Structure 1
């Protein structure tokens, strides 16, 4: 059996094992080990596994993962998310569908602090949805806005998915963060326009009554300023330090985690027990992410040894499909897989195969990474998996709230994301302008 055939069988075996329910990291390690053993022998497979573990996890850069995860968890505990929503509610509450637009911008700012979509979905489902329903919005629309805008957490820097992509593509984390700014602003604008158009042309979808209830100005300007200070402080500390050249990505994560810890302590929202639980949760998330990166590294080396990426590049680029046909098929495959498995797993499975093809096609890998992240995030809103939708359902803990209603509420935002994805494909500078300065 040729190495190419072995590589093809390894990919098929990986899909079968995932379908049977085996954890994705374990499945990737198993097929990679078996593939290298079949091509070069078991001793080589053992040495390659050790080398992959050593080379992929000892880098100083990987300290960024637990630091940003810890910062996100501390920010959630210290109720900065609620403050962010309160600020934008006060600023935008009086315009048409103002609370919906306020939720989008609050999510965008919260994303610039946490970098995790699930944290945004959890926080704003408990903060924004009750407030929106109290002011006359339908629950379907309120949960759909939260689900849709939560995806900004993985696009606007700092972003965990951007870190994973940068590692796999061997790109600069700082450049990947910069590349997410333009598309993140585009998505926030697209979501706001979508909300305004829904309120204008389909008010029954947005409001329970004929008119929107007016937002009361319960928050004075002094209280508004006090709520805004911690938000601005963290954004300046992390993003200002990173893009001002004072901190590298890992140091920015450490500074952000320390700043978030200081805010939580000053607000007395953190006990020793809750802090310990946060540290344990940070460790669990970090270990799972790093284990998946190890598995993906071994998998990509096995594929390179088999020649599968080179073969696919020749077939895709020299055949009738062509570079742009490959890109369309790749993005459609990501969106389809998003209906079944989680974001990081999609990237770890597809990128070792797709990156060599994209590089051979002459695509800008930073632009390609932004397209990948946006496509992956669409999967957070699509059935049957729709992770953000299920997180909102779990956080709301309301037996009368149906999963189908949340999916229907999120559908307009899926359309906005697909339109934004098309714009980024047609105008690469939206993603690459800042990153390539």
Structure 2
């Protein structure tokens, strides 16, 4: 059996095992073991090779960046930073048509810059933004769709857990991945805002609730005027953390791993200073961080095993040769890659898609001379579309689980997210056609 056959069989078997209910990391590990055993005919050798791969997978101190950024995000989530960001955005944008949708996107973008966890954004803004939008006469589908769509900004705007995982998996600079995420994050946020304004004018029935079933009587006339001091008090902690994190990394003051430690400590000090975090809640935050970190690291270890087994079989070389023989069009190769990711996004989670697909296709796109940093941004955006699409649609499930209003169904959440998923696909096409848009320094003529 050749390398290509082993690669195709392994991907098919992994998807089958995941569909049958097996944990992704277990499926990756099992298929890796079977693949190496099949190639070498020695189960003991397979165990030794995969054990070495597992040790190498988490031996680097760079892995410390995962729990540190997760901890920072959890602390900020528990200390109502998301609510404060929404209040600031609402203050400036409420009076525009579709203004609360714009406020939600802007607040999520700001929140993403200090957390990097999409699910946390979805949970927080479901509780904060959706009730307020319904009260002021926005339609349920638009309210939940806006939260679902803007929550994915957490995985694109740095610091982002997906960008960290991609950088570790492909041995790229985490700082460079973070820098590359800024421009596309701004572009996607801007496209969301333009889309919301367009829908408010062209399809008002989707944006506003004409029946009045969800609106609070007289609420449309209510305007909450906040003092400059209150706005400053809500803004300064967020701006402080963004400056510390991104300024420190890009200014060369500390590494991304050190930035995670500094950010976590700063977030903890702010949370306790504002009396937003009790010791009991802090213990819950630590447990949640441990659970999420263990899950991610287990996945990365399993993916390292899988990558080694594919390399041993010569799968990347076989696929690269096949692609270059079948077509000389780099765009066609990227299109195939994106379509496969969009399909997988309907059945498995974001991290798993990256860990399965990147080892297969990265050597191929590098063979065409593509920049791995650009490839990482394209991958993350394509993967994040899966957070909005059924049947998995993790962000949509989180939003439904956090809703107190039983009148809004899971179907409403998915339908509300459709325009935002389409806008993400548009941005994906834009960045594929114009790769320089990924690098924000080139927007102004830099190289």
TM-score grouping bracket, smaller chain normalisation: over 0.9
Give 3-state SS (helix, strand or coil) of 1:246's partner. coil
State whether residues 118 and 391 of structure 1, in contact with CA within 8 Å, keep that contact through their aligned partners in structure 2.
yes
CA, structure 1 residues 68+206, in 2 after alignment: closer, same or farther (shift >3 Å)?
same
2:381: which partner in 1?
374
Other-structure match for 1:137: 138
Deviates more, 1:346-355 or 1:64-73: 346-355
Task: Choose the corresponding residue for 1:383, options 355, 373, 390.
Answer: 390
In the TM superposition, what are the counterparts of 1:1-150 in structure 2 within 5 Å? 1-2=1-2, 4-40=4-40, 41-150=42-151
Q: Equivalents in 1 of 2:205, 2:39: separation in Å?
A: 61
Q: Which residue of 2 aligns with 1:240?
A: 247
Cα gap change, 1:3/1:417 in structure 2, threshold over 3 Å: closer, same or farther?
closer
2:323 is the counterpart of 1:316: yes
Compared with structure 1, are the counterparts of its residues 8 and 88 closer, same or farther at alpha carbon in structure 2 (3 Å cutoff)? closer
- CA distance in structure 2 between the partners assigned to 1:224 and 1:101 by the alignment: 17
- The yes-or-no answer on 1:362 pairing with 2:369 is yes
**SS where residue 213 of structure 1 aligns?**
helix
The answer to whether the Cα contact below 8 Å between 2:4 and 2:319 also exists between their aligned partners in 1 is no
What's the offset of the Cα at 1:244?
Answer: 1.4
Q: Is the 8 Å Cα contact of residues 94 and 215 (structure 1) preserved in structure 2?
A: no
Cα deviation for residue 91 of structure 1 reads 1.1
1:273 maps onto 2:314 in alignment: no
Bigger mean CA offset, 407-416 vs 99-108: 407-416
SS in 1 for 2:406: coil
CA contact (8 A) 1:156 1:181 kept: yes
For residues 231-276 of structure 1, the C-alpha deviation after alignment (integer angstroms, 9 at most, x for no partner) is: 1111111111111111110011111111111111112222222211
Residue 4 of structure 1: CA displacement?
4.9
- Partner-residue secondary structure (3-state), 1:380: helix
Residue 301 of structure 2 corresponds to 294
Other-structure match for 1:204: 205
Q: RMSD of the alignment, in Å?
A: 1.7
Distance 2:423 2:190 in 1: 10
Corresponding position of 1:167 = 168
SS in 2 for 1:195: helix
- Shift in Å at residue 309 of structure 1? 1.4
Per-residue deviation, 1:165 = 0.6
Instruction: Using the TM superposition, give the Cα deviation of residue 3 of structure 1 relative to its aligned residue in structure 2, in angstroms.
Output: 5.2
Task: Assess, with a 3 A threshold, how the Cα gap between structure 1 residues 11 and 174 changes in structure 2: closer, same or farther.
Answer: same
8 Å CA contact retained: 1:89, 1:102: yes
Output the TM-score relative to the length of structure 1.
0.96
CA drift of 1:7 comes to 4.1
1:316–1:323 Cα contact (<8 Å) kept: no
Cα shift at 1:6: 3.9
- The answer (yes or no) to whether the contact 2:3–2:318 under 8 Å persists in 1 is no
Question: Among residues 287, 292, 302, which one is paired with 1:285 in the alignment?
Answer: 292
TM-score under structure 2 normalisation? 0.94
Q: What residue in structure 1 maps to residue 215 of structure 2?
A: none
Which segment drifts farther, 276-285 or 71-80? 276-285
Q: Following TM superposition, by how much is the alpha carbon of 1:215 offset from its aligned partner in structure 2, in angstroms?
A: 5.7
Aligned partners of 1:414 and 1:11: how far apart in 2? 26
Q: Which residue of structure 2 aligns with residue 260 of structure 1?
A: 267
Which range moves more in the overlay, 330-339 or 426-435? 426-435
Give unmatched runs, 5+ long, in structure 1. Answer: none
For the Cα contact (< 8 Å) 1:156–1:180, is it kept in 2?
yes
- The size of the alignment, in residue pairs, is 437
Structure 1 partner of 2:189: 188
* In structure 1, C-alpha distance between the alignment counterparts of 2:112 and 2:440, rounded to whole Å: 21
User: Among residues 407, 425, 435, which one is paired with 1:428 in the alignment?
Assistant: 435
Q: Could you tell me which residue of structure 1 aligns to residue 216 of structure 2?
A: none
Q: Aligned partners of 1:107 and 1:4: how far apart in 2?
A: 42
Q: Report the Cα distance in structure 2 between the residues aligned to 1:90 and 1:5, rounded to whole angstroms.
A: 58
Is residue 179–residue 433 contact of structure 1 (8 Å, CA) maintained in 2? Answer: yes
- Deviation track 1:273-310 (CA, whole Å, cap 9, x = no partner) reads 22111111111111111111111111011001111111
Give secondary structure in 1 for the equivalent of 2:276: coil
Distance 1:101 1:5 in 2: 49
